[in-house]
């Protein structure tokens, strides 16, 4: 008999609780090139994904593959140092499982970060974009299939998928940190191949400002369990699909993500103490 998502969740929670009883109020998912944000955690306790029953394992470059618990800028937090992607072969429900676990551990809000290409011509590598909304171009949804009301409702609302009130706090934190902040719409694609120039022009014409290979399934899962979401994209490359479009490399993407990551770290240092208790 297949193992249900609820059974997987309970097994994963029990595995983590063998190592730590820390109860975070804020969860963060760290994207490609942004794993160094975990270095700021005080009194850390780490749990490797391989120690968590039924949990996926990160294979993407720069993803350490562990949960890190500790104090981050005065808050009790848990960080996913490495996430899961469709292009690694994981199913959408595997991606959702991680978010469900963060919520069961005690998190009352989720901050997702990612590396993204700039569809908007006014954005440049090394900048930061607050996600106002997203468009799911992956062709899949983590809630497809039987729904378990013990996890969340059949039809969660995503009209405010990225919490407007929390986004206002992000804008204020960026201003205090002296960090310029873009705000726009994220297009989620499956990957791992980077988009064609025609696809990039299509996504931009659809209204998206940045494109990446993560985040949308995590945000859907967060809405499923009632977790408010803050989204921050590290802009890593120009992806306008115009006549001057240059080839991209993963090395450049990760290098530029590190530049943006330092700016995101500065914003988080101002944001986390200002979040609601």
Using one digit for the tens of pLDDT, what is the confidence trace for 131-169?
Answer: 999 999 999 999 999 999 999 999 999 999 999 999 999
Q: Report how far residue 30's alpha carbon sits from residue 115's, in angstroms, rounded to the nearest whole number.
A: 9
Q: Report how far residue 191's alpha carbon sits from residue 84's, in angstroms, rounded to the nearest whole number.
A: 12
Q: Given this model, what pLDDT does residue 61 score? A: 62
- Rounded (10°) CA dihedral 13, 15, 16, 20: 120
Q: Report how far residue 261's alpha carbon sits from residue 265's, in angstroms, rounded to the nearest whole number.
A: 6
- Residue-range definition of the domain harbouring residue 71: 5-274
Q: Report how far residue 276's alpha carbon sits from residue 72's, in angstroms, rounded to the nearest whole number.
A: 15
pLDDT 10s digits, 166-183: 999 999 999 999 999 999
Q: Report how far residue 68's alpha carbon sits from residue 78's, in angstroms, rounded to the nearest whole number.
A: 6
Q: Report how far residue 273's alpha carbon sits from residue 277's, in angstroms, rounded to the nearest whole number.
A: 9
pLDDT band (50, 70, 90) for residue 245? confident
Burial, 15: exposed, middle or buried (Cβ in 10 Å; 0-12, 13-18, 19+)? middle
Burial, 43: exposed, middle or buried (Cβ in 10 Å; 0-12, 13-18, 19+)? exposed
| Cβ neighbours around 167 below 10 Å, total | 21
pLDDT band (50, 70, 90) for residue 255? confident
Paired tokens of 104: 């069961």
pLDDT 10s digits, 2-53: 789 999 999 999 999 999 999 999 999 998 767 788 888 999 999 999 999 9
What CATH code is carried by the domain that includes residue 257? 3.40.50.1580
pLDDT 10s digits, 39-89: 889 999 999 999 999 898 876 666 578 999 999 999 999 999 989 999 999
Dihedral sign (CA 122, 124, 129, 131): positive
| Alpha-carbon distance values, 66 to 37, 122, 127 (Å) | 13, 35, 27
Q: Report how far residue 30's alpha carbon sits from residue 124's, in angstroms, rounded to the nearest whole number.
A: 21
Q: Where are the alpha helices (DSSP H) in the chain?
A: 5-17, 92-104, 164-177, 197-205, 216-224, 250-271
pTM, full prediction? 0.95
pLDDT band (50, 70, 90) for residue 248? confident
Closest CA to 77 of 90, 86, 89, 67: 67
For the chain, the domain total comes to 1
Q: Report how far residue 162's alpha carbon sits from residue 151's, in angstroms, rounded to the nearest whole number.
A: 20
- Whether the predicted pLDDT of 254 surpasses 90: no
Q: Given this model, what pLDDT does residue 63 score? A: 58
């Amino acid at each position: 008999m297949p193992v249900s998502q609820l059974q997987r969740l309970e097994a994963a929670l029990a595995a983590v609780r063998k190592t730590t009883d820390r109860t975070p109020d804020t969860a963060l998912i760290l994207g490609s090139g942004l794993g160094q944000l975990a270095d700021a955690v005080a009194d850390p306790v780490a749990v490797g994904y391989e120690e968590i029953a039924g949990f996926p394992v990160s294979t993407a470059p720069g993803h350490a593959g562990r949960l890190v618990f500790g104090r981050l800028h005065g808050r009790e937090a848990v960080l996913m140092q490495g996430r899961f992607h469709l292009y690694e072969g994981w199913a959408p429900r595997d991606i959702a499982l991680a978010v469900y676990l963060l919520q069961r551990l005690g998190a009352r809000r989720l901050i997702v970060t990612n590396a993204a290409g700039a569809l908007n011509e006014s954005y440049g590598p090394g900048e930061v974009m607050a996600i106002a909304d997203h468009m799911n171009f992956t062709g899949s949804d983590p809630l497809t299939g039987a729904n378990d009301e013990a996890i969340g409702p059949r039809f969660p609302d995503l009209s405010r998928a990225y919490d407007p009130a929390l986004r206002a706090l992000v804008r204020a934190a960026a201003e205090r940190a002296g960090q310029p902040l873009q705000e726009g719409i994220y297009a989620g694609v499956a990957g791992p191949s980077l988009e064609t120039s025609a696809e990039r022009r299509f996504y931009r014409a659809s209204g998206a400002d940045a494109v990446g290979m993560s985040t949308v399934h995590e945000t859907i899962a967060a809405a499923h369990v009632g977790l408010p979401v803050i989204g921050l994209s590290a802009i890593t490359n120009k992806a306008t699909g115009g006549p001057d479009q240059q080839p991209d490399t993963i090395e450049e993407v990760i290098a530029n993500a590190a530049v943006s990551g330092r700016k995101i770290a500065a914003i988080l240092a101002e944001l986390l103490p200002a979040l609601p208790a």
